[in-house]
């Protein structure tokens, strides 16, 4: 009985990851939009008042978007421009972060947009405040989604294959 040679060994299967799908992003956005729009009237019926939307909430989303944008730029510079490889755990962590934030940002941003839409035509003294803050938060959620998709794209490599 001879020992198998390296040429006889089967090649390890290589998996591929596809980018976050438009279907998943759309689903999260639609669910978030409906829930955000329904939150205003439901909370008024249950508690007698709408939920508070503070500047802290809106600006926190903008800050997260800025952090993700910087991380995407840094990753792009490292992997795509300089041609260096990240450690495996760094690549996986950034990819998981990007996917989670892309889906979460779509859902949260759309929820704030739905909440803003629910205030249109409302004569309440708080309507203008909640509308503006909700729109800023929705834009922050959109920023999180876009920056996350850019980060996901920056993590892409050639799969270890050498160019022709």
Domain boundaries, the chain: 22-154
* pLDDT for res 109: 97
* Confidence band of 88 (pLDDT split at 50, 70, 90): confident
* pLDDT for res 125: 83
Q: Is the dihedral of CA 96, 98, 101, 105 positive or negative?
A: negative
Is residue 154 predicted with pLDDT exceeding 60?
Answer: yes
Q: How much is the average pLDDT of 108-136?
A: 92
- Give residue 113's Cα distance to chain centre: 16
Is residue 124 predicted with pLDDT exceeding 90?
Answer: no
* pLDDT for res 14: 64
d(CA 33, CA 113): 6
Is residue 90 predicted with pLDDT exceeding 70?
Answer: yes
- Please give the model's pTM, rounded to 2 decimal places: 0.83
Q: How much is the average pLDDT of 126-139?
A: 92
Q: Angle at which helices 55-76 and 127-154 pack, to 10 degrees?
A: 20
User: What does the DSSP 8-state code read for residue 81?
Assistant: I
- Find the DSSP H helices in 120-162: 127-154
d(CA 32, CA 28): 6
* pLDDT for res 122: 83
* Confidence band of 163 (pLDDT split at 50, 70, 90): very low
User: What does the DSSP 8-state code read for residue 158?
Assistant: -
* pLDDT for res 157: 76
């Amino acid at each position: 009985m001879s020992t198998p040679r390296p040429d006889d060994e089967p090649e390890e299967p290589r998996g591929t990851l596809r980018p976050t799908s438009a279907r998943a992003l759309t689903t999260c956005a639609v669910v978030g939009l409906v829930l955000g729009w329904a939150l205003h009237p439901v909370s008024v019926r249950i508690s007698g008042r709408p939920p508070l939307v503070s500047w802290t909430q809106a600006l926190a989303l903008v800050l997260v978007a800025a952090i993700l944008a910087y991380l995407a730029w840094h990753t792009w510079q490292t992997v795509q421009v300089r041609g260096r490889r990240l450690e495996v755990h760094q690549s996986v962590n950034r990819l998981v972060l990007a996917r989670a934030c892309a889906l979460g940002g779509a859902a949260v941003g759309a929820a704030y947009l739905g909440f803003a839409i629910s205030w249109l035509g409302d004569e309440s003294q708080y309507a203008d405040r909640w509308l503006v803050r909700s729109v800023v938060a929705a834009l922050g959620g959109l920023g999180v989604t876009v920056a996350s998709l850019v980060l996901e794209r920056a993590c892409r490599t050639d799969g270890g294959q050498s160019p022709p």
